Amino acid sequence: MAGISEVLSSVVEDVGKALNRDMSGAQVIQQLLSAPWLHALLKIYECLLQFQRLKPSPFLPFASGLSYEIFNAIQNTHCPSPEAMELLSLLSSPHIQALLSSHDSVAQSDYGPILPPLPEDLPEDEEAMRIVCLVKNNQPLGATIKKIEGTGEIYIARVIHGGLAERSGLLHPGDLLVEVNGNSVEGLEPEQVIQILINSQGTILFKVIPNVYMRAMVDYCPLQDSSIPCPDAGTAFCRGDLLEVLDQSDSYWWQARKLPCEESTCAGLIPSAGSLRRCKQREHWWHQPLQGHTCIRPCKLSPSSAIIVIKTINPCLILSSAGFRRSFRLWRRTSYRKRRQSCTTCSPNRNALSTPYEEVVLYQRLPQDIHRLIILIGATGVGVNELRKRFIKMNPVIFQAPVPHTTRPIRAGEQSGREYHFVSKEIFEYMVCNHRFVEYGEYKGQLYGTSTDAIDDILKQGRMCIVDVEPHSIQSLRTKKLKPYVVFIKPPSPERLRQTRRDAQITSSYTLNRTFTEEDFVELEHMSKLIEVKYKQFFDRVLVNDDLQAACMQLCSIIQQAQNQPQWVPVSWKSDTEKKKKKR
């Protein structure tokens, strides 16, 4: 701490001196950037970041025991030194004793409640039940219940923010209450359930049937479905919609509400996952996205083209240092028509056929967890690269883009691992065979690619990784480890698009920049619609890139929310410990 205040006072001193001198702005900035105190501050900042990630462990669990031993030793000393006497008076002060006692409680983790063991005789068919054990303290439970007239079932109606129930993360609105402390709530009035809660001592054991939330991976329109018992009772939904499934007892028709909705909104009929899977003939009313262009064959462009793509999962990158590089999306423009044709011949996505709904849960990233991978998706020219660059520039220590791999020779001034990971063709191909690349491609006879390891490296250092990839790469990145958050960058209205990009430059080859043509705008809008139609079930947020500065600020806030606020994620992304906790 003394070190930091020393550095800070020399900062103030240096800045004061600079102010008093007659210097140009560039000189001030140059001096500022090369000032030793700035480098010292950055070092301290990095150390603090490292420290934040390291979990401090106690040096010894019984500090108060040791202090007692020292206390005794000094007291038994014949003629203690003045330092020993000072230590004695320090150790006997009530504040230090209280501090040491608190230290020991933390060191021994002597603060968590001791939960009773799980009941031994859990029936097999209680798979979908959740047993929640809360320790009663003098705080209110923070949840309300309601009885459904007609069925007599008792549900959790509200979970109060910050209350015991909310903090446990185990009780949610809509959960059906089955038992409280071993007492079945069947036929009980809410007042009787509350009485059981009031009379409980120590721990409260709830048995609940959790509500199920699903993301639609297909579109459904009841009015076009001849098999629905009553089209008016059906709920229409589109890919990406969030559904609260309230009743799955019928194997053909479930009852669900589309979120967000009012608490009082009536549920509607939706086809069960099984019936959607079974009835392939229903493809006329439910559609799934087409598969991405996972062409494995070499795809040669015209000889005049600046870029030759071989295995086109996706070629990437070029230029300057990582994070500020231009994406290799130029290829997208040149081969756009070719790819559009190939995509119409692709077969439906197997995944969507097998999972018309994806079960989701709310996930809140904990401070010690790695950051979620941020994926930016958008049609070429919409501004994905510009937004990513600006975002990284805000704090390049924290926000980073993965360092790509290349087989091209290293140039003067470059450093392996900074601009690129320079590797041999054999190593690159070995990595391809081992599926180490998210995207890769060829440019002027050299291979370039973004590896999953490069993404992992950033995340492992506690930093935030931001990538822009082709939309079909989303599926390979959707893993429990990366928990990607996908932001779709959308163009503004046709008028605003042309107005805002009047002076903007696009790169039509790596040596030539030019302004947007009408054809570019039309292609951008068309491609954007195509991406949205095919991939919207994977989008967590849509950001309209109208005013650049405003879009950048919005992206910043979206990313903060993605990292720090609860978000819906596939249930399979929840950690096993969380799942176990849920089952308790």
Judged by the rule CB under 6 A, the positions of this chain that interact with ligand ATP are 327, 329, 332, 378, 380-386, 500-501, 504-506, 545, 548, 551
Q: Is 280 helix (H, G, I), strand (E, B) or coil?
A: helix
Residues 6 or more apart whose CB falls under 8 angstroms from that of 350 comprise: 291
Radius of gyration for the chain, computed over Cα atoms and rounded to the nearest angstrom = 30
d(Cα 111, Cα 389) in Å, to the nearest integer? 46
Biggest alpha carbon–alpha carbon distance for the chain: 99
Using an 8 Å Cβ cutoff, are 446 and 422 in contact? no
d(Cα 118, Cα 458) in Å, to the nearest integer? 40
State both tokens at 410.
Answer: 């290293």
Q: Tell the smallest beta-carbon distance from residue 552 to ligand ATP (Å).
A: 9
Nearest to ligand ATP of 253, 488 (CB atom): 488
Nearest to ligand ATP of 120, 503 (CB atom): 503
Nearest to ligand ATP of 257, 490 (CB atom): 490
State both tokens at 396.
Answer: 């390049």
Q: Tell the smallest beta-carbon distance from residue 514 to ligand ATP (Å).
A: 10
Nearest to ligand ATP of 370, 551 (CB atom): 551
Using an 8 Å Cβ cutoff, are 509 and 562 in contact? no
d(Cα 405, Cα 454) in Å, to the nearest integer? 9
Nearest to ligand ATP of 40, 506 (CB atom): 506
* Of the candidates 212, 190, 205, 246, the residue with the CA atom closest to the CA atom of residue 122: 205
What are the distances in angstroms from CA 447 to CA 129, 305, 414? 52, 17, 17
Q: Tell the smallest beta-carbon distance from residue 322 to ligand ATP (Å).
A: 16
Nearest to ligand ATP of 148, 504 (CB atom): 504
Whose CB is nearest to ligand ATP?
329
> Residue 539, exposed/middle/buried by CB under 10 A (0-12, 13-18, 19+)?
buried
* Of the candidates 370, 441, 452, 444, the residue with the CA atom closest to the CA atom of residue 409: 444
Q: Tell the smallest beta-carbon distance from residue 448 to ligand ATP (Å).
A: 15
Q: Tell the smallest beta-carbon distance from residue 555 to ligand ATP (Å).
A: 11
Q: Tell the smallest beta-carbon distance from residue 492 to ligand ATP (Å).
A: 8
d(Cα 302, Cα 493) in Å, to the nearest integer? 34
Q: Tell the smallest beta-carbon distance from residue 550 to ligand ATP (Å).
A: 8
Q: Tell the smallest beta-carbon distance from residue 445 to ligand ATP (Å).
A: 22
d(Cα 243, Cα 262) in Å, to the nearest integer? 13
Q: Strand ranges (DSSP E) for 287-334?
A: 298-299, 309-311
Nearest to ligand ATP of 248, 305 (CB atom): 305
Q: Which stretch of DSSP H or E encloses residue 143?
A: strand 143-147
Q: Tell the smallest beta-carbon distance from residue 332 to ligand ATP (Å).
A: 6
* Of the candidates 428, 410, 412, 429, the residue with the CA atom closest to the CA atom of residue 420: 410
Nearest to ligand ATP of 177, 382 (CB atom): 382
d(Cα 450, Cα 315) in Å, to the nearest integer? 9
* Of the candidates 214, 212, 213, 232, the residue with the CA atom closest to the CA atom of residue 222: 232
Nearest to ligand ATP of 143, 551 (CB atom): 551
Q: Tell the smallest beta-carbon distance from residue 343 to ligand ATP (Å).
A: 18
Q: Is 414 helix (H, G, I), strand (E, B) or coil?
A: coil
d(Cα 225, Cα 230) in Å, to the nearest integer? 10
Q: Is 179 helix (H, G, I), strand (E, B) or coil?
A: strand
- Residue 361 pairs in a beta bridge with 569
Per DSSP, the residues of 483-521 read --EEEEEE---HHHHHHHTTT-EEEEETTEEEEPPHHHH
Q: Tell the smallest beta-carbon distance from residue 508 to ligand ATP (Å).
A: 9
State both tokens at 406.
Answer: 């290349």
Q: Tell the smallest beta-carbon distance from residue 339 to ligand ATP (Å).
A: 14
Nearest to ligand ATP of 480, 498 (CB atom): 498
Nearest to ligand ATP of 186, 547 (CB atom): 547
Strand 446-451 to 405-406 pairing = antiparallel
Query: What letter would DSSP give residue 233?
Result: G
What is the total residue count of the chain?
584
Q: Tell the smallest beta-carbon distance from residue 501 to ligand ATP (Å).
A: 5
